[in-house]
Amino acid sequence: MTDGGQRNRGPLGPVLVIIPTYNEAENIASITSRVRVAVPEAHVLVADDNSPDGTGKIADELAGDDPHIHVLHRAGKEGLGAAYLAGFHWGIDHGYGVLVEMDADGSHQPEELTLLLAALPEADLVLGSRWVPGGSVVNWPKSREFLSRGGSLYSRLMLGVPIRDVTGGFRAFRKETLQGLGMGQVASQGYCFQVDLAWRAVKSGFRVVEVPITFVERELGDSKMSRAIVLEALWRVTAWGMRSRFSALLGRR
């Protein structure tokens, strides 16, 4: 948890759960249904990157049956970060006060969304964390766990971010937090996108709180994790950390 000072936090406002999709036809109906049951007052935005498997069409059908479900059709696959940024802008433009990041594959359990929302009145950003006491992962190989833990540890040490699960993607933001992060300057993707936003929140003096979650490996569809995403995170975090340390060194002279 980061302090964030005695910020005057207003009411939360309506909740929008943003679910980026690319070839998630097997999962999208289930995940949206679970969100609607877990937090009935929340709205869902499916941000689909023109999935060739018909995910966007299924999402349109779900939206036609439920006014709490919306679809943002994007031109093509531009990455997780771009999809979330588009979803954030859409949500803010449509008057939502809380914007949630959630995967489409069920790894982020909608039933735990209430834990994030319950912590948000006293925070600016709430992270669902696998690596705080009480957090866990299910059906992950040790190699995947090592990669995730190692990525968070490396980012924490390089950037000086006091967050245990800085790469996690189950998050609840206040609208005002996102507006204060300089979203127009964010160009990172994947793991790196999550690190980037968390680091920006800490640097901006926002109060960041981690709550334990159970992360469940997907059962249907293919993971979007790739070597390119991992390498992007590694070089970007290293560059950010070195630049930050060099700037701090110059500032002390």
Residue 37: Cβ within 10 Å count:
10
What CATH number should be reported for the domain holding residue 88? 3.90.550.10
Which residues, listed in sequence order, are joined to residue 137 by a DSSP beta bridge?
215
Q: What is the pTM of this model?
A: 0.89
Question: What is the pLDDT at residue 198?
Answer: 94
Residue 12: the pLDDT is: 92
Helix axes 142-159, 190-203, angle to 10 degrees: 30
pLDDT for the residue 139: 87
For the chain, give the number of residues: 253
pLDDT reported for residue 202: 94
The pLDDT value recorded for residue 155 is 85
Chain center to CA of 79:
13
Q: Is residue 5 part of a domain?
A: no
Specify the number of domains making up the chain.
1
Residue 210 to residues 92, 97, 131, 132, Cα–Cα distance (Å): 23, 20, 9, 8
Closest residue by Cα to residue 36 from 106, 104, 111? 111
Helix (H) or strand (E) holding 203: helix 190-203
Residue 139 lies in a domain: yes
The answer as to whether 3 is a domain residue is: no
Asked whether 113 and 98 are in contact (CB, 8 A), the reply is: no
Is residue 25 one of the residues assigned to a domain? Answer: yes
Has residue 6 been placed in a domain?
no
Domain of 135, in residue numbers: 15-252
pLDDT on residue 56: 97
Is residue 8 in some structural domain?
no
Residue 126 CB burial class (10 angstroms; 0-12, 13-18, ≥19):
buried
Find where tokens 């936090």 sit. 9
Residue 205 gets which letter from DSSP? T
187 domain-assigned: yes
- Residue at 10 is within a domain: no
The predicted structure's pLDDT at residue 222: 62
Q: What is the pLDDT along the chain (253 residues), one digit of tens a residue?
A: 776 655 678 789 999 999 999 999 999 999 999 999 999 999 999 999 999 999 999 999 999 999 999 999 999 888 889 999 999 999 999 999 999 999 999 999 999 999 999 999 999 999 999 999 999 999 888 888 888 888 888 888 889 899 999 999 999 999 999 999 988 888 777 668 899 999 999 999 999 999 999 999 876 656 555 566 666 667 677 877 777 666 665 665 5
Cα torsion 78, 42, 180, 149: sign:
negative
* pLDDT for the residue numbered 180: 95
